[in-house]
Amino acid sequence: KIDYEQLSELYDKTCRTKNVQYSYGTAGFRTLAKNLDTVMFTTGILAILRSLKLQGQYVGVMITASHNPYQDNGVKIVEPDGSMLLATWEPYAMQLANTASFASNFEEFRAELTRLIEHEKIGLDTSIVPHIVVGRDSRESSPYLLRCLTSTMVSVFHAQVLDLGCVTTPQLHYITDLSNKREREGGSAEVATEQDYYSFFIGAFNELFSTYEIEKRLSVPRLFIDAANGIGGPQLKKLLTSKDWVVPPDQIEVINDKSDVPELLNFECGADYVKTNQRLPKGLSPSSHDSLYCSFDGDADRVVFYYVDSESQFHLLDGDKISTLFAKFLSKQLELAHLENSLRIGVVQTAYANGSSTNYIENTLRCPVSCTKTGVKHLHHEAATQYDIGIYFEANGHGTIIFSEKFHQVIKSELSRARGDMLALKTLDCFSKLINQTVGDALSDMLAVLATLAIMKMAPMDWDKEYTDLPNKLVKCIVPDRSIFQTIDQERKLQNPVGLQAKIDLVIAKYPMGRSFVRASGTEDAVRIYAECQDSSQLDQFCNEIVELVK
Ligand code: NG1
Ligand code: ZN
């Protein structure tokens, strides 16, 4: 039973940010931190309802604004299995938040809440205890917003709340999933912790190296990790100082690790900065051309790699390059294990993937490729439903690999029969553990890349030279109303404004290997224009011509 008197009191006290329009986008709610009190309050309640709906399972809530500037913050809900909030619940999140934001009194909010509870047939009189896992990134505004979020959880809903403190977004996803697995196993009932996360991934990394009986050293002399001055810094250090971590300390250096200086977060560093500007982040000067570099974003769910060649030329190894590296490696293992006809491997991309990468995967690796709309939930879904090994990465570095139930069964049975190429089978088995199965994870992806490079004895240059990116450009265009830009064909073609696509097609036809598409951003009030073509000297002109059509 809900104690409405208490709820009303907390509502008046907490919902201070009024008349703000909230929208639950691909990355949850995200805006200036000072405008988030109300939506934190309602998101806390929605997470409770989600848990009640799911028989009290742990539901995760993460407070983060990822790669956004330090003044921003945000919140998103995670399903019991570590995936993103069920799409049909996103409108509820918005209705509840916007009712609280625009309502003139508590009764209006109460009516909306009641409607939702009845619509979803959520039983409040039962003995179900809602379980919630909360985590936050390193932002200064987060502890306050956490109090807004959890204010009703214990007092009104008698929930059990597991507060992880400061963690990366993928850690929150992983621990939510693990908490439910532990509950299901009953018995031990030990609460899942951050330590479980480190042990699991370090364990898989070490097992992979042991399988090959190779020394636990990186294939590059030195790796520099740019932590974007976010939560990735301290979490990385916990991993690197863990007793099980055996890579020599002189091989890895963490930079931009000042997560305690708020305004440095994502400032001239991090994955988004490096990908967008195609240059080294603040704090790095090329030390040697055989070093490998990587950058996380502010909440460590994205990673991009890069290196500098002997002519001081910067080379980006982005999400597309990570996908292709994994596709090459895992296809080879499948072949060695003679499983290429029983297990289906595929790569999932968005329209932002470089055309060269798609061509390379299809024609050199001979591996199927799917294209989905922007937003990891679309990629994740395609990877999980179409393939036994579904590799997905957005060009910006967010992604992972999903291994199907069938994959695990086949590998287990082949291993138990101890026939065929045991090394390849063990590699596939270890690799499926090394990659975070719940969500894209900078830390786990990084370990998987390092292991792949070490096993394949590849230097950054070898990885890069598999294919050459077509020259490309991504620009933003501010328009009066971006909602008129409606797309079809996985966002690759415009349906509206009527006639615009035909004009775009005429421009594209003028440029050899030209490809361009226009879509409204889901996270910013802007239209994004992407263009690529063979000749870099024509790229600016190509892109400008499209921009002129859009303006
Ligand atoms: P929008 O703003 O819808 O283009 C951006 C990124 C996505 C994804 C989301 C969520 C690009 C071109 N778009 O989406 O890949 O990461 O933010 O954070 O990078
Ligand atoms: Zn992020």
Provide mean pLDDT across the span 291-320: 96
Structural domain containing residue 240? 197-317
Average pLDDT, the chain: 95
Ligand 1 pocket member 25 (CB < 6 A): no
Provide mean pLDDT across the span 85-104: 97
Whole-number pLDDT of residue 188: 65
The tens digit of pLDDT for each residue in 440-481 reads 999 999 999 999 999 999 999 999 999 999 999 999 999 999
Confirm whether 164 is domain-assigned: yes
CATH number for the domain spanning 171: value is 3.40.120.10
Last residue in a domain, options 367, 397, 427: 427
- Mutation to probe ligand 1, out of 320, 396, 529 (largest number of atoms < 8 A from CB): 396
Confirm whether 16 is domain-assigned: yes
The tens digit of pLDDT for each residue in 25-79 reads 878 999 999 999 999 999 999 999 999 999 999 999 999 999 999 999 999 999 9
Alpha carbon 432 to its chain centroid, in Å, reads 18
Ligand 1 pocket member 473 (CB < 6 A): no
- How far, in Å, CA of 81 to CA of 66, rounded? 21
> Are residues 326 and 312 part of one domain?
no
Instruction: Look at the chain and report how many structural domains it folds into.
Output: 4
Ligand 1 pocket member 530 (CB < 6 A): no
Whole-number pLDDT of residue 296: 98
Q: SS in 3 state form for 292-316?
A: EEEEECCCCCCEEEEEECCCCCEEE
Ligand closest in space to the Cα of 522: 1
Confirm whether 454 is domain-assigned: no
The answer on pLDDT for 2 being more than 90 is no
The tens digit of pLDDT for each residue in 199-231 reads 999 999 999 999 998 888 898 999 999 999 999
**What are the residue ranges of helices labelled H in 370-465?**
376-386, 405-417, 422-434, 442-456, 460-464
The tens digit of pLDDT for each residue in 241-251 reads 999 999 998 99
Residue positions annotated with a catalytic role = 66
The ipTM is 0.97
CA end-to-end span of the chain? 54
Whole-number pLDDT of residue 419: 77
Alpha carbon 505 to its chain centroid, in Å, reads 32
Confirm whether 461 is domain-assigned: no
Last residue in a domain, options 187, 205, 229: 187
Whole-number pLDDT of residue 27: 84
The answer on pLDDT for 238 being more than 70 is yes
CA 304 – ligand 1 centroid, Å: 15
